[in-house]
Amino acid sequence: MQDTEKEQKVDMLPLSSDYVFKRIFGKDGNERILKSLLEAILEIKIRKIKIKNPEIPKESIKEKLSVLDIKAEINKNIILDIEMQVGNTTAIDRRLVVYSSKLVAGDIKVSGKYPDAKNTIVICITTDNILKRNAYISVAKLRFEKTKDKRYIDMGYKKEDEYLTDMVSYYIIELTKLKENKPRTADLLEKWLLIIGGDEEMMKKCKKEEGEIKEAIEQLEEMSSDEKERELYEIRERSRLVYNTEMYEARRKGLAEGKKEGKKEGKIEKAREIAKNLLKNDVSIEIIKKSTGLTEKEIENLKENN
């Protein structure tokens, strides 16, 4: 009874926080937990996994606001980057391409040979709906466009290549889509994602089961009870809120200035049209200046171009 009351009093930190996510899945020694999540997402058997960056630089918590990602190598031939995105999904498509480019470029520097470059996977887990797709997990690759009829020549291929390469893959997981729709199977992937999304019912269920999910929940409870960890989480959240507020204000200011410039340009264009009509009726430049606010030079230019 006492254990149950103590358990209920724990205010769980959200696994969807990039800081908390990194501490659970990117922690050195938690390879089994990360392996379970990745096997569920990628639908492959992982024989070997290595977390590439087990430590979080201190300055990144207080100063750097970019997502605290997880880099790992699996089966010795795949490098991957997992990004936990809470809001701030602006230009996410371009950012994912940049992430993959950095992974590929870094790997090429190590191997020194293009044929030896490892396959690259970027996984983005987000709390936002960012794709107009009827799926909570979407996979993208470098795919060929359909051949235009006028470019078609019969080379005898019964089946054409579908992809330029399968070297780079992008997995985009939208937690809200899954949360808003009841799971059809509640398989391992859905269990993991519902827990990352903070589903309390699924947490209670999985805590009774053996395995990596239960281990992750227990570590999350321990982390949530640690005052130091909560303090670091709060620092991270305040930094994120400040950043989002600054970005919002910058966009709002930009829109306001854009509208102001638009109105100004609209008034000038209207004055030009009035000036053109007055010129057609042989009205003097002096009167046109007073009527429109245009300068004599601007009116002369309109007169020359009419």
Tens digits of per-residue pLDDT, 37-54?
Answer: 999 999 999 999 998 863
**Domain ranges, ordered by start, for the chain:** 2-147+155-225, 260-305
Task: Quickly count: other Cβ atoms within 10 Å of residue 90's Cβ.
Answer: 10
Over residues 158-174, the mean pLDDT reads 92
What is the model's pLDDT at position 243? 65
Distances in whole angstroms, Cα of residue 113 to Cα of each of 100, 107, 109, 116, 120? 18, 9, 8, 5, 15
Order across the sheet with 78-85: list the strands. Answer: 49-51, 70-74, 78-85, 119-126, 163-174, 137-143
* pLDDT tens per residue, range 1-10: 444 444 456 7
Q: Which candidate, 75, 87, 63, places its Cα nearest to that of 38?
A: 75
pTM for this entry: 0.71
C-alpha 17/C-alpha 85 separation (Å) is 8
**257 confidence band (pLDDT: 50, 70, 90):** low
